[in-house]
Amino acid sequence: MTDTPHRPERALLFGADRPLRLASGGTLTDVPVAFERYGPPDPTGRNTVFICHALTGDSHVTRHDEDDAPGWWEAMVGPGRPIDTRRFHVVCANVLGGCSGTLGPAPGARGDGPAGAPFPQVTVADMVAVHRELLRHLGVPRLHAVIGGSLGGMQVLEWLLRHPRDARQYGLIATSAQLTTDNLAYNAIGRAAIRSDPRFRGGAYAADDGPAVGLGIARMVGHLTYMSGDSLQAKFGRDLSPPGGADAGTVPAWGPYSVERYLEHQADKLVARFDANSYLALTTAMDLFDAFATPCDLVTAADPDVRLFSFESDRLYGIDHSRHILEHLTKAGVRCAHFHEETSRGGHDAFLMEVPAYLDAVAEWLATPALGSTHDIDA
């Protein structure tokens, strides 16, 4: 097995005659989008599942074959998994504003402007607009389900509220309709770390000379919110792991504990594959998201099957976030249910993990015929 990464497919969307009109009022044309497809082709769309990824995710959800590199949601997607690629045709695209093949603010991502040229602020609604245009481009007229966790779940919620007839089922996992002040504060610290790095240069850094230190610190802060206190305690406790090469005779700039080495490792991993400007753009899009700020009257008539999934150990988007969504949808007359998992210590990242009760619940839900009707995806 070589674990050779599968190259995503690419589409160029939104020509000059059909520009992408952003929620901010601007427009974009000739938007490259990276996406991957899994499972049997489905010209009807009746067995197509669209997966929306989280903040630092991409289109590579799972392996395409045994020689492929692992994907970020192997626990959920693949042969014999809840989203079974022997049954479902699965599509996942890198989001607008990302840095894995879809148009975003990373250096060199757009060749028609100077380095550091302002990239428009994107929103969750803009991400969904690109997803829907991609499906039209691929000739997928309707969907069996739209599913995602965290920022992916925000995309699913936006899709549900504005275009509820596109799919029969909508799965919102470990997500939020509106960030709390606590959530906003963590994102603010991450962005401040990036901006304070001397190599940020107002966003006009070169691709090989960006604010690696600032982005790494942002990841360390963010990663703490993805884990639970119990999982950190069980994994590390007060185990020692002194930094290599540290001079014991100097002021201790590094702590001696394993948890610090772990966070440094997580920082290095993200810096090697992600872009700081994309981190800024996408966390700001999450901050701005306010799903129920506008009416959601379209959902009731469409009668989709909606399921929320949350985790007791999730200190980022815990049960209160799901209850908030459930309350609003129920008041609007939407048929929805909530599965809350109470045993995993995985924290927010539990939605990516092998948590049997949760995975079984998703599989059972997807196997249940949905009652709502769908229309072809249109403008």
To the query of whether residue 150 is one of the catalytic residues in this protein, the response is yes
The CA distances from residue 137 to 7, 10, 109, 140, 378, in Å, are 19, 11, 22, 8, 11
301 burial (CB, 10 Å; 0-12 / 13-18 / 19+) is exposed
Amino acid identity for residue 4 in this structure:
T
Q: How many CB atoms lie within 10 A of CB 19?
A: 14
Examine the pLDDT at 94 and tell me if it is beyond 70. yes
Measure the CA–CA gap between 153 and 151, rounded to whole angstroms. 5
- From the list 314, 321, 328, 344, the catalytic residue is 314
Please report the beta strands in 266-377, taking only residues with DSSP state E, as ranges in sequence order: 305-311, 336-341
Examine the pLDDT at 141 and tell me if it is beyond 50. yes
Measure the CA–CA gap between 116 and 113, rounded to whole angstroms. 8
Write the pLDDT tens digit of every residue in 164-203. Answer: 999 999 999 999 999 999 999 999 999 999 999 999 999 9
- From the list 53, 59, 126, 150, the catalytic residue is 150
Measure the CA–CA gap between 102 and 88, rounded to whole angstroms. 24
Q: What is the C-alpha end-to-end distance of the chain, expressed in Å?
A: 44
The CA distances from residue 336 to 226, 308, 330, in Å, are 26, 8, 7
85 burial (CB, 10 Å; 0-12 / 13-18 / 19+) is buried
Q: Are strands 27-28 and 20-21 parallel, antiparallel or unpaired?
A: antiparallel
To the query of whether residue 314 is one of the catalytic residues in this protein, the response is yes
- From the list 305, 321, 348, 349, the catalytic residue is 348
Measure the CA–CA gap between 118 and 226, rounded to whole angstroms. 30
The CA distances from residue 110 to 28, 250, 291, in Å, are 11, 46, 30
- Residue 1 has a pLDDT of 45
- Among residues 133, 161, 162, 174, which one has the least CA distance to residue 50? 133
Domains observed in the chain: 9-179+286-367 (3.40.50.1820), 182-277 (1.10.1740.110)
To the query of whether residue 348 is one of the catalytic residues in this protein, the response is yes
Write the pLDDT tens digit of every residue in 22-76. Answer: 999 999 999 999 999 999 988 887 899 999 999 999 999 999 999 999 999 999 9
- Residue 105 has a pLDDT of 96
Structural element, H or E, at residue 148: strand 143-149
Most confidently modeled of 3-12, 113-122, 340-349?
A: 340-349
